[in-house]
Amino acid sequence: MIGLRKVISYTAIVGTFVGLLAAAGCAPAAAPQGGTAAPANPAPSGQSAPATVAKATQGEYHFKFAVNNAQNTSRGRQELNIGNLITQKTNGKATVEVFWEGALGAERTAIEGVGNRSVEIGIASSSNTSSIIRPWTALDMPFLVGGGADGLRKFLNSSEPLRDLEKKSEEAGYKVIGYVFEGWRHLITTKRLIKTPDEMKGIKLRTTPSPIEAAYVQAFGGNPTVVDWSETYLALKQGIVEGYHVAYSSVVQFKMNDAVCCVNETEVVPIISLVAMNNEHFKALPADMQQAIMAAKAEALALNFTEDIRAEGEFKKTLEQDFKVVTYRPSADEHKQWRDTVGGVYQKFADIVSKDWVDKARAAQQ
């Protein structure tokens, strides 16, 4: 929901203290002299926000950053990490202004805006990006990344498979300058815990329009049912669907807590969003600024990965303690049963995601 269009501008105060100023006529509480500014959206009770990097004064280059989410989310904190580090690494020559809650358009609109240069920086999930840059479909493949956080970390730090996708993005006109993480797609259900594919037969699961998601739900034995995200809560409550593959953060932040009963931590797909600039715009920047932006990308990667793990842990605890949702970690044998069902999915989409690339991606995780 777009709601009030909020804009954050970065302004320096003495040392590492940060001033926040929201445009659109709704400024947050001003910081007392020598203190820190009150956040526009304070962290929810029981959730500690990580430290932010220092912000610098508006510089020679001013970048608009279009995002679709609110500031007071794990994703919002990760987006701020990227923007703040760009300012820091360029010694204040570049500043980033974040336009929250779809003020400059939804995800697809934002990434299209980067392409036509109506906005300098945009963010979109790999699923939404793949509708424009098809190779990113690879990140939607089930169990491409194994071994949980450790496997994902190795994949992200690999020198070849991810770089291949980034090069294809550059050929399409986009320079990837950062990543944001939002947990894993787990199997979350409304009536009972489903431990193995044998128990999945006929279960109606909400899916996106992604043909890959539909294919792996079918491979698991389920019945894929496309439901718009805005209608998903009612579909769960009314029994139109009996579950979905989403992260803990999606359940809690979209207030679907009372609609679900059980989570099997199958870790089917990591939820990754790309932060991108127009490649021609990036190449037109001074060489030292290009280097600084890429240095910010590398540092933000580690910060954002840590923030995502922290946040997902808190969301899981909220579901367990406050809503008595059952969470289950499958055994090695049970997880293998899930993985063994999806061979046909890779064959079906081999023209988009080649076996050679898949083999390299998996080798990078060893």
Q: What is the DSSP string of 238-262?
A: TTS--EEEE-HHHHHHTT-GGG--E
pLDDT of res. 58: 59
Whether 349 shows a pLDDT value over 50: the answer reads: yes
Tens digits of residue pLDDT in 257-277: 999 999 999 999 999 999 999
Which range has the top average pLDDT, 1-5, 38-42, 163-167?
163-167
Cα–chain-centroid distance for residue 216? 21
Average pLDDT taken over every residue of the chain: 85
Nearest to 293 by CA among 279, 273, 272: 279
Cα–chain-centroid distance for residue 112? 18
pLDDT of res. 107: 87
Q: What is the DSSP string of 96-148?
A: EEEE-TTTT--HHHHHHHHHHTSSSEEEEEHHHHHTTSGGGGGGGSTTSS-SH
pLDDT of res. 31: 30
Alpha helical stretches, state H, the chain: 74-89, 107-116, 126-130, 148-156, 161-171, 211-220, 232-237, 248-253, 279-284, 287-323, 332-340, 343-348, 355-363
Q: Please tell me the total number of residues recorded for the chain in this structure.
A: 366
Read off the pTM: 0.80
Residue 359: helix, strand or coil by DSSP? helix
List the structure tokens of 293.
């932006």
List the structure tokens of 161.
């498979």
Domains and CATH numbers, the chain: 7-42+49-135+150-181+272-309 (3.40.190.170), 185-269+317-363 (3.40.190.170)
List the structure tokens of 156.
């992200």
Q: Rounded mean pLDDT of 203-224?
A: 95
- The answer to whether the beta carbons of residues 55 and 85 sit under 8 Å apart is no
Tens digits of residue pLDDT in 272-330: 999 999 999 999 999 999 999 999 999 999 999 999 999 999 999 999 999 999 999 99
List the structure tokens of 131.
């509708």
- The answer to whether the beta carbons of residues 274 and 123 sit under 8 Å apart is yes
Nearest to 248 by CA among 191, 317, 330: 317
Residue 198: helix, strand or coil by DSSP? helix
Tens digits of residue pLDDT in 38-74: 233 333 333 444 433 333 345 699 999 999 999 999 9
Nearest to 60 by CA among 286, 278, 295, 291: 286
